[in-house]
Amino acid sequence: MRIRGVWPCDNPPTDLFKNGGNARGDDRGHVKKISRQVSEIHTEFSFELFPPKSEIGEKNLLSQIHLVERIKTRAICVTSGAGGSGNDRTLKTIKSLENNVSSNLTAHLTCIAATKNQTHQSLDRYAQEGIFNIVALRGDLNEDQNDLTTLDSYGNAANLVRGIRNRNDGDQFHISVAGYPETHPKAKSRKSDLENLKEKVDEGADLILTQFFFDPVTFFQFIEDTDRVGISVPIIPGLVIPSNFHRVFNFAEKCGTHIPDSLVKKFDGVESGSETANRIATEITLQQCSHLSENDIRSFHFYTLNRLDLVVPVCELLQEGISSSPKPVHRKP
């Protein structure tokens, strides 16, 4: 099995995840070559945050954001509004964070509920602000949108990636896309879902961030499946610390993530967000990452639910534990 849960190069913050950098042009083949190598690299993280919905939420996020400076954070991704509420709050949140962190800031960009012109207006604003790291997504419809036949949108992530690359400044963007180890819940089949992912990569995506999962074997099988269909860009596993188990359970139902019965039993009778729940969730995540790291996975993408106070300490434990562990034996899971 080819392990690709690593970032494309050893030092991407200024070169790859900043202003397009070395991900494009003459160095693109070099990046692909490095991405296929299994090398001893430091444990790296990226975080996903969502735009706060209130002033209190914004203050809470800003009070925690300094915590990311304690670890090696490759990128902080800011989502678009849920339910197709658009990309405006994404930029506002990035602007509020940029003076507080040294990590590269990445913007989610959804397209299904916007015209192509509106999508390019968003890209224009990002480019003007020097934001060239994008997570290209289909997104959700607005609540009042039922008929898309009259809306001139990109319609899906593959078309969006192509639209970005066709811009005059298209080669400056570093584009990540979403992958589903357990298949997108709206996909017709596993095969069609993988074909759709390959189309996104063929259109110019640089990196795949996966939906969260709980069984590492699921991720390893996903890597084998993507290898089989000819996908060779780096794939970063997505993780969530399930301290608020009921919330994560609801997310999992919507995105098609299987939660093992053994995990459900661990939270039986445990209050979500309690100290006991935090301890159990931390142990689960450390075990999951330990299994991944034993197979040379050194990069992790955390869906933080804006709980940096919970995620950062876990990442510190991972950095310490993985870096001090003996060199893993390469094996097929």
Structure tokens belonging to residue 203: 């259109």
Confidence at residue 30, expressed as pLDDT on a 0 to 100 scale: 31
Contacts with 318 (C-beta within 8 Å, 6 or more apart), sequence order: 43, 286, 289, 293, 300
Q: Is residue 2 part of a domain?
A: no
Cβ contact 179:137 at 8 Å: no
Q: How many C-beta atoms surround the C-beta of residue 137 within 10 A? A: 19
Cβ contact 215:284 at 8 Å: no
> DSSP state, 186?
T
Q: Is 19 left (phi over 0), alpha (psi -120 to 50) or beta?
A: left
Confidence at residue 322, expressed as pLDDT on a 0 to 100 scale: 61
Cβ contact 34:8 at 8 Å: yes
Give the integer Cα–Cα distance in Å for 282 and 271: 15
Confidence at residue 81, expressed as pLDDT on a 0 to 100 scale: 62
Q: Tokens 């991720």 appear where? A: 219
Series of mean pLDDT values for 10-residue runs along the chain (333 residues): 43 35 36 33 89 91 94 92 63 91 94 92 95 94 59 92 98 98 95 98 98 97 97 97 95 94 95 94 95 93 96 93 47 34
Confidence at residue 89, expressed as pLDDT on a 0 to 100 scale: 86
Q: Is residue 6 part of a domain?
A: no
Confidence at residue 141, expressed as pLDDT on a 0 to 100 scale: 73
> Phi, psi at residue 233, to the nearest 5°?
-75, 160
> DSSP state, 23?
G
Give the integer Cα–Cα distance in Å for 68 and 330: 31
3-state secondary structure (DSSP) of residue 177: strand
Q: Is residue 313 part of a domain?
A: yes
Is the CA virtual torsion 212, 237, 100, 92 positive or negative?
negative
3-state secondary structure (DSSP) of residue 290: helix
SS (H, E, C) 241-252: CCCCHHHHHHHH
Q: How many C-beta atoms surround the C-beta of residue 77 within 10 A? A: 26
Q: Tokens 């159990």 appear where? A: 280
- Domain encompassing residue 28: 12-324
Q: What is the CATH number of the domain that holds 301?
A: 3.20.20.220
The pTM assigned to this predicted structure is 0.84
Confidence at residue 36, expressed as pLDDT on a 0 to 100 scale: 34
Count of structural domains within the chain: 1
Q: Is residue 180 part of a domain?
A: yes
Q: Is residue 4 part of a domain?
A: no
Q: How far is CA 330 from CA 32, 86, 288, 293, in A?
A: 21, 44, 17, 11
3-state secondary structure (DSSP) of residue 116: helix
Distance between terminal CA atoms of the chain?
8
Q: Is residue 90 part of a domain?
A: yes
Confidence at residue 41, expressed as pLDDT on a 0 to 100 scale: 57
Q: Tokens 């639209």 appear where? A: 163
Q: Is residue 3 part of a domain?
A: no
Q: Is 48 a catalytic residue?
A: yes
| Given the residues 40, 44, 48, 320, the one annotated as active site | 48
Confidence at residue 88, expressed as pLDDT on a 0 to 100 scale: 78
Give the integer Cα–Cα distance in Å for 244 and 198: 34
Give the integer Cα–Cα distance in Å for 146 and 226: 34
Q: Is residue 277 part of a domain?
A: yes
Question: Which of 220, 223, 262, 219 has its CA nearest to residue 242?
Answer: 262
Confidence at residue 10, expressed as pLDDT on a 0 to 100 scale: 39
Give the integer Cα–Cα distance in Å for 280 and 25: 46
